[in-house]
Each structure stands twice: as structure tokens, then as C-alpha cells.
Structure 1
Amino acid sequence: MTSAHAPVRLQLPDESATQRLGRAIAAQLAERPSEPLRIWLEGDLGAGKSTLARACLRALGVAGPIKSPTYTLVERYPLEGGAEAWHLDLYRIADPEELDYLGLDEASVRLWLIEWPERGRAELIPPDLRIRLIQTPGGAREALINATNDKTVDLITKLAEEFH
């Protein structure tokens, strides 16, 4: 899927910057109380996808352990107001049709954080944001953020302003 909107590139020099991005996304979600947000998290192993997801979930008030869904494929977290955040890690699926067995009912989901979406692309709902985390020499990272629809263009603009 390509975006008609210009992507935003953010420099993430360390893990705390990746966490800051997660918190900033959570803050933007809080400003949109009635709109669900679907985020595809892309990047190589160790790029910081889970770090970003955990920081976002913590900022949304998730207490207790935030487990990696690497083996469970999906972890569900209650959010304020009765909605849920779902964190998916599709690294271990072999066929996108395996998603049919997970019971992904989007009725109560306020936030989707989907790692390795390319493995389930044919069966996934389209994203609102695509975030590609790229490891750079020296251990830093970059986040390339694409808004895939008009409702999230202002969101990435605000993220860019916060990081520059």
C-alpha cells in the first residue's frame, strides 16, 4: 500500500526517543476519542517495534505486564471507557489465512499495534499509519511514518512538530 501523503522521517537516537514516540502517539490517540487507530509497525528484528508499542500502551494507562505477543500472536489490553488496544506480532505466522483463527473482531478495538504486518497483509484491515523503524549505524534509529488516509495526515504533522 502506498501513501498519497509525504512521509515524515524522525530521528530516534536512543531507546528513550523511541519510547517518546510511543507516548506521543498515545497523546494523539487521546485527542481522537471516537476514532480507532490502526498502526502497522514495520522493521527488522530489534528495530524497536515492541519498545514503541509498550510505551504507547503504558501512556494509554495500561498497568501490569505488557507481554510481547511473539508466541501468543495477539495480546489484548483494556483501555479507559471499555475499549481495547490489541498488540499483534505476526512474525510467526506462515500464511495470512491463519489470522482467521484469532477471532479478530474489531468492534471494541480502539488501537491496533501490528508488528510484522507484511505477513498478514492480505487478511488485515488497512492501516491508518505505517511506521517503519530503521536501524542506522551506531545504534540509532529512524522512524519513517506514513499517513495512509486523510484522517491521520494531521497526526503525523503533529508528531513531526514535536520531534523537531
Structure 2
Amino acid sequence: MHPPILETLQEHWRDEAACADRAQTLAANPALRDAFIELQGPLGAGKTTFTRHLLRALGVAGPVKSPSYAVVEPYELATGPAWHFDFYRFADEREWEDAGFRDIFAGPGLKLVEWADNAGETLPAPDLRLELTPLEGDHRAVTTHAYTPRGQELLR
């Protein structure tokens, strides 16, 4: 259960370029360095695509792949560490605890999480939650909720 929503931003992305533009804008915000961002949406909504654009905007030059099977992909950025998680295959929230992710979430660095609901109540509250809804063609409706003051700063 998330805390109350402090602020919400509604967007319409017409194509992948709009997704990349949003990622570029977010990457320029210094508050992103230690943020926790949840990415929600059905399969094919663009969660990994957004993450790829964001990590590229932050300077990742190598491959940015979906961590569906590995569960987590770590990255070292100029601003510090980043982790891309995918909990799609989690069947029980205890898997999060058993994997030892509590230490990562308690420490510094950017955390990007797909399918966070599968980790249950074990995750801390995110700073931002992006809800991506596929529309006709490449269009996406994107609702971004800020749950923390850092999240509000990231919305600006």
C-alpha cells in the first residue's frame, strides 16, 4: 500500500521519441541520483523502453537489456550506482527478501523497478510511479504519481 499521492502528472506520448524526451528531462534532474521509480503497465507498455532511454540519457553506453530472467541489472553511472529490477517472475514477496534486495534499496543509487506489485509490501514507497497505458499505434497515456518530496521535485 503506497502512501498518499502528493502530486500527479498526466502525459500523452505520441511515439518513442516522446518517451525519450521525457527520459532526457528526468535524467537532467539531480534528484534522480537516489530515486526509486516504479514502472507499471501491461506487457509491451514500454517500461523497459523508458528505462533504456533513461539509462542512455544518464550515460550508459553498453547494452541495456530487460532483467526479466536475471531479476536485476546493475549499472555504474557518473553519479553513482543504478539498478534495473524486473519482478515479473516473482510469485511470492518473500523472494524479494530472500534475494537480499533490502540492502540495495536502503543504500544510495537509482532504483528502477518493473512489476513492483509482485514484490508485495516489501518494497519501500517509491518516489515516482509511472503508469504506462498503451493506446493506438505507438501512443501511450502516462500517469506519473509522486509519493515523496523527491518525487515532486522529479515531476518539475
| Identity fraction in percent | 38
1:93 maps to which residue? Answer: 90
- In 1, Cα distance between equivalents of 2:117 and 2:54: 21
Shift, 1:2, TM fit: 5.0
Q: Which residue, out of 45, 50, 58, partners 2:43?
A: 45
2:126 maps to which residue? Answer: 127
Question: Superposition RMSD on alpha carbons, in Å?
Answer: 1.7
Q: TM-score, normalised by structure 1?
A: 0.85
Residue identity in the other structure for 2:18: A
1:149 maps to which residue? Answer: 148
- In 1, Cα distance between equivalents of 2:54 and 2:141: 17
Runs of 4+ in 1 over 4 A off after TM superposition: none
- In 1, Cα distance between equivalents of 2:5 and 2:97: 30
Q: TM-score, normalised by structure 2?
A: 0.89
Contact 1:11 1:142 survives alignment (8 Å): yes
Q: How many residues align?
A: 153
Query: Could you list the runs of 5+ residues in structure 1 that have no partner in the other structure?
Result: 159-164
- In 2, Cα distance between equivalents of 1:109 and 1:68: 22
Shift, 1:130, TM fit: 0.5
Contact 2:31 2:154 survives alignment (8 Å): no
- In 2, Cα distance between equivalents of 1:2 and 1:134: 22
Query: What do residues 101-140 of structure 1 show as CA deviations (whole Å, max 9, x unaligned)?
Result: 3222225541110000110131112100010001123431
Closer, same or farther in 2 for the Cα pair 1:63/1:102, shift >3 Å?
A: farther
- In 1, Cα distance between equivalents of 2:51 and 2:137: 23
2:20 maps to which residue? Answer: 19
Residue identity in the other structure for 1:115: E
